[in-house]
Structure 1
Amino acid sequence: MKRWLRQRVDAVYEEVLSREISGAPTHVAVIQDGNRRYARRKGDDATDGHREGAQTTERVLEWCQDIGVEELTLYAFSTENFDRPDEENQALFDLLCEKLREFADADRVHENEVRIRVIGEVERLPERVRDAVDYAERRTRGYDRFVLNIALAYGGRSQLLEAVQGVASDVETGTLEPDAIDVETIEDRLYDQPVRDVDLIIRTGGDERTSNFLPWHANGNEAAVFFCTPYWPEFSKTDFLRGIRTYEHREESWRRTRARRAIALLGAVSDPELVEAKSIVERFRDSLPTAEQPDPDDLEGVDGGQVEELDSSGQAAD
């Protein structure tokens, strides 16, 4: 297909996808895969691929803000990446220093009140990278409209292990009772600042795996996952919107499943369970195909005050 025709088709498809999207996930996490393979395909050095990938990162940040995403996490450097050739890593570290400082000084970052945070074993990074991390975090610390997390020297399993070890140590010293351990106990030990549950993971480059990325916040929230074949430097807005559509379809499927289960409960239980089932049906009734939607008259007979109370407390939707 001729280049101009390909561009025209992509533009039309992007417009169609934009019209189809009605909402946005709160937190998107991206595994930026394929920079090196992209560079090799072009006959360039790996550093050239990383530099072009950094331009994609800036575009994705803008796309997220355009549709209402509130938090973006980028998997920039894993703990396994330390095993790559030192020359390649040193060039990547130089690029990270450059981009962290550039982002921290960018007018659009301050105009949009973007807070930059780095998650991972930062102490393992070279001093120049640690200094750039500190600079970016200090420059944007007061913002909260949008959060940009950059995962550097990151390994999800090691993060969880460290958190569990901290809990075990506190139990052993008597500063924490076993019965007091809950979700917040682990989350407080994972990062200095809270990280929202992940709604959507996007991975470029063709591999269909999540590579130990944010296991607590993604798996626990049953995040939608979108795998695509373009290498990260080639990742387009059309690809991004397809990922958002994947999230929306997953949310619609979840609502339909909840409504169908609640309808089944209406015929099998009574009293408190019946009240909750009716509440779920009423909340998610419109997500069902028309043929499956129950008649409102069939839902009569349960005290409306009880249902309203359940809705306001959120119990019925949990």
Structure 2
Amino acid sequence: MNVNSGTRLAGAAAALFVAVLLAACSSPDQESTAGDRNDPALVAPPKAAPTPSVSNVPDLTLPIQAYQPTLAQRTVVENATVSLVNACMHRFGFDDALPPGRPSQPSLMSRRYGVTDPAIAERYGYHVAPGDGIETGAKPAGNGGALSRSAILVLTGDPNGQPRPGAPAPAGTYAGAAIPAGGCSGEAAAKLGGGRLFGGATTLADRIMTTGFAQAETDDRVTAVVGTWSACMKQQGYAFKTPFDAAASAKIDTPAPSTVEIKTAVADVTCKRKTNLVGVFYGVERAYQNAAIQRNIEQLNRLKAEIEQVVKAAAGALGVPVPR
């Protein structure tokens, strides 16, 4: 087995996994940026239906989520990628290169509008709480050894460990066997075709998710309720213009929240509930997303079909049912 020295596996695995899923793949809906006026994610201010006061924020959903991979879908794609990469490495006489997949997806809504749960505020302040799904430095289980230069070549298609899925391997062969284009990572990417859908690249649905929030944040209806929230906070002795300013004031890199942080977070949540800030923000954001979806429905339907195709390929590679 040729795994003695070289790049540490943890770093290589993390970089590799992203590269595997960032296979060269593009489509017209990726060409514009969120700041471009021609960006299909940007829409005119829509009408927003009144939203009642929201109590259980993590259970909320946004319309564009219907066009993004679910946690179950991400899990099967990651597991299939790890399985395919490692099987390829075995063909060349190497041990597993990637540790078992451990995808983590926070509750999208739990902190979208800041801290919103009184119980969370009283215990954690603005610190990470269970259910937030934020990594806190724990490393995935797996072989913690190092990869040799030869292993890196076979894994990435590049002796320097610069993954180039789809690109020919510079050395061409290893131990008499042809190295796949882009190494074992490129082979896995080619079999699944995940590309921009699962590897962190921005899809139209992702842009609508971020752009809709940004547009809602500056919408007159949201800025008005944020102003009311700010006035509520001022009455309790806090000078913050927005809830995000309040959260930014906390030192969340400390082991535990301070008394000041907890009191601030409790006041923050109290004012959010008094003003129905979350209900207004959520309602306006939904309206922007629905308008963007209506504008781009054909592209989004194609995107959804692409996701389902990749998930089906991943499930087939693992021999498991196709998740939804």
- Tell me the TM-score normalized by structure 1: 0.24
Larger strand percent: 1
Larger helix percent: 1
- Tell me the TM-score normalized by structure 2: 0.24
Whose RCO is larger (CA < 8 A, sep 6+)? 2
